[in-house]
Amino acid sequence: MTDVEKRSDRSPVPQDWTYAPAPESTEIVELRERYGLYVGGEWLDAKERYTTLSPRDESPLAEVAQASEADVRNAVAAAHDAFGTWSTIAGSERSKYLFRIARILAERAREFAVLESLNGGKPIKESRDVDVPLAAAHFFYYAGWADKLEYAFPNRTPKALGVAGQIIPWNFPLLMLAWKIAPALAAGNTVVLKPAETTPLTALLFCDVLRQAELPAGVVNIITGDGSTGAALVDSEVDKIAFTGSTEVGKAIQRRLAGTDKRLTLELGGKAANIVFDDCALDQAVEGIINGIYFNQGHVCCAGSRLFVQESIYEPLVEKLKKRMATLRVGDPLDKNTDVGAINSREQLDRIEELVAAGKDEGAEMYQAPCRLPERGYWFAPTIFTNVAQSYRIAQEEIFGPVLSVLTFRTPDEAIEKANNTPYGLSAGVWTEKGSRILWMAERLRAGVVWANTFNRFDPASPFGGYKESGFGREGGLHGMEPYLELTA
Ligand code: NAP
Ligand code: MG
């Protein structure tokens, strides 16, 4: 509050209600100039490197290693070496390490949140309040299972598989790492993880946490690089691949692994239906729609990217939605008031722009929130399309950006038919006052998660995963342990 009118006979009255900048300091993060590969508890040099940027201004942050095939083999060998001991120590010992990791993550939460926003572009309030606490919560949760496997899977003699190769995307770098590493370790496996090319830094900082927790060498190995490093990991001597990313790459991996005895789980794309009935609490639904599509700039596999509105409330709802969009603050990810941050990469921005152009060409009507975008960096204004037909690309393809397609329906049957008319099936939302209708809808929606009168809620105890081209296997909860265990029938 800068211009405050001070009068002796009254309390101060602010003259301007706009937000003043409130940037989080980056001083807490100490970046190295150059990072190697974290293998067998050591930092190894790589022959090739690339520079990782901040999408908020395209400034270089650090040089990271581009792991070669030989580097990948080396990391997998280190994980095999560590497996013998790690899989046979008492479960309560493994718990201890997982609890330590959780606690250290919580202690260093601010450092991780700042780095996540710097490298990935997401608003600090999200990395601070969602990504980092949820990542710690996953380690806490699976720490609790590590010594109870026989009770979790009674009479099925649970045994660790071996070395898990894990490949993750750039939209939730630390959180996806936690989803992958925590259950794998709790089950007694060792790990080689490859973060996404554009967002390696929190995974590299996590290696420091592993050292602090004194995790035995080789139990977790982190190798950075591009898609070719991921492909080399798929082809290496691992016992299991856990992949989160695009359906296209997921399919390629499935083809590579066909006929081998490597296990596979795939968490792929989505095009979720967020379905709003005319009896819902409208203002609450508007908040859920906004969160559903603009959270993390829409770089969310379970984003509510197709909005289905019951015809009778179409006009008031779209009007409220536009009003609410106008209040979103787009800009510096490190500003605590920012709602929508930077697009993760130039490549992703190009893809969003291409699909938005296709939407306009095909005849949909576009509305963008009035906002001033920063000049440097990668940005896209919150956008909605109305007048969308089901056949349009913007209603079919995953945009993975802050772009919502609005469609309508009249009856619950029609809502189900339209919502399920997609190759994906990761998540869905239903907004209605009637509990019976929620259950009726949830039973018929072909989606792994159905949220009712809320959206984007996550809990480590709750399994998450897809139907159809959204993949197979579940992460979170007890279900998330199964893919890392050999169980007798
Ligand atoms: P992506 O291109 O498939 O990449 C995912 C990961 O795979 C990255 O680490 C990537 O490396 C690596 N990779 C690329 N080509 C590979 C290959 N041939 N073999 C092995 N690994 C390879 O996906 P993305 O663009 O990063 O992420 C966005 C996608 O992830 C969206 O479709 C989204 O829906 C999906 N996603 C799904 C979930 C879920 O839980 N279902 C969660 C988050 C995201 P590079 O980074 O070097 O390309
Ligand atoms: Mg990619």
The pLDDT of residue 12 is 76
Closest listed ligand to the CA of 227: 1
| Residue 301 bears catalytic tag | yes
The alpha carbon of 31 and the centre of ligand 1 are apart by a number of angstroms equal to 25
The pLDDT of residue 428 is 98
Closest of 218, 223, 213, 244 to residue 106, by C-alpha: 213
Provide the whole-model pTM: 0.96
The residue whose CA has the least distance to atom 48 of ligand 1 is: 227
Res 5 pLDDT > 70: no
252 lines ligand 1 (CB under 6 A): yes
| Residue 267 bears catalytic tag | yes
Q: Which of 174, 175, 301 to mutate to test the pocket of ligand 1 (most atoms within 8 A of CB)?
A: 301
Q: Is 273-459 a domain of CATH 1.10.760.10?
A: no
The alpha carbon of 169 and the centre of ligand 1 are apart by a number of angstroms equal to 4
- Segment 427-442 shows an average pLDDT of 98
The residue whose CA has the least distance to atom 21 of ligand 1 is: 230
61 lines ligand 1 (CB under 6 A): no
- Segment 438-466 shows an average pLDDT of 97
Which tens digit of pLDDT belongs to each residue from 364-403? 999 999 999 999 999 999 999 999 999 999 999 999 999 9
What is the percentage of the chain residues whose pLDDT exceeds 70?
98
Res 1 pLDDT > 60: no
Q: Which of 50, 174, 249, 300 to mutate to test the pocket of ligand 1 (most atoms within 8 A of CB)?
A: 249
- Segment 286-309 shows an average pLDDT of 98
The pLDDT of residue 18 is 82
Q: Of ligand 1's atoms, which has the minimum distance to the CA of residue 194? A: 9
The alpha carbon of 227 and the centre of ligand 2 are apart by a number of angstroms equal to 7
The pLDDT of residue 3 is 54
User: Whole-angstrom Cα distance, residue 383 to residue 410?
Assistant: 24
- Segment 328-354 shows an average pLDDT of 98
pLDDT band at 291 (very low <50, low <70, confident <90, very high): very high
pLDDT band at 14 (very low <50, low <70, confident <90, very high): confident
Res 7 pLDDT > 90: no
The pLDDT of residue 29 is 98
The alpha carbon of 243 and the centre of ligand 1 are apart by a number of angstroms equal to 8
102 lines ligand 1 (CB under 6 A): no
The SS3 assignment for 276 reads strand
The alpha carbon of 41 and the centre of ligand 1 are apart by a number of angstroms equal to 26
The pLDDT of residue 310 is 98
* Angle value at C-alpha 431, between 433 and 301, nearest 5 degrees: 155
Q: Of ligand 1's atoms, which has the minimum distance to the CA of residue 348? A: 25
Question: Which CATH number is correct for 34-268+470-488, 3.40.605.10, 3.40.50.150, 3.40.30.10, 3.30.1960.10?
Answer: 3.40.605.10
pLDDT band at 6 (very low <50, low <70, confident <90, very high): low
Q: What is the mean pLDDT of the chain?
A: 96
Closest listed ligand to the CA of 200: 1
Structure tokens at 45: 């040099």
425 lines ligand 1 (CB under 6 A): no
Which tens digit of pLDDT belongs to each residue from 59-75? 999 999 999 999 999 99
How far does CA 18 lie from the centroid of its chain? Answer: 31
- Segment 48-52 shows an average pLDDT of 98
The SS3 assignment for 346 reads helix
Res 16 pLDDT > 90: no
pLDDT band at 9 (very low <50, low <70, confident <90, very high): low
Question: With contact defined as beta carbons under 8 Å apart, do 331 and 338 qualify?
Answer: yes
Structure tokens at 92: 């309560």
- Segment 21-37 shows an average pLDDT of 96
The single residue of 24, 126, 197, 267 carrying the catalytic annotation is 267
The alpha carbon of 166 and the centre of ligand 1 are apart by a number of angstroms equal to 11
Closest of 478, 485, 482, 473 to residue 144, by C-alpha: 478
Closest of 59, 60, 2 to residue 35, by C-alpha: 60
All residues at 6 or more sequence positions from 265 whose CB lies less than 8 Å from its CB, including other chains: 240, 241, 242, 243, 465, 471, 472, 473, 474, 475, 483
Does this chain's domain 34-268+470-488 share its CATH topology with 273-459? Answer: no
Question: With contact defined as beta carbons under 8 Å apart, do 182 and 212 qualify?
Answer: no
The SS3 assignment for 136 reads helix
467 lines ligand 1 (CB under 6 A): no
Res 13 pLDDT > 90: no
Which tens digit of pLDDT belongs to each residue from 240-284? 999 999 999 999 999 999 999 999 999 999 999 999 999 999 999
Closest listed ligand to the CA of 225: 1
The alpha carbon of 49 and the centre of ligand 2 are apart by a number of angstroms equal to 17
Indicate the domain borders of the chain. 34-268+470-488, 273-459
The pLDDT of residue 236 is 98
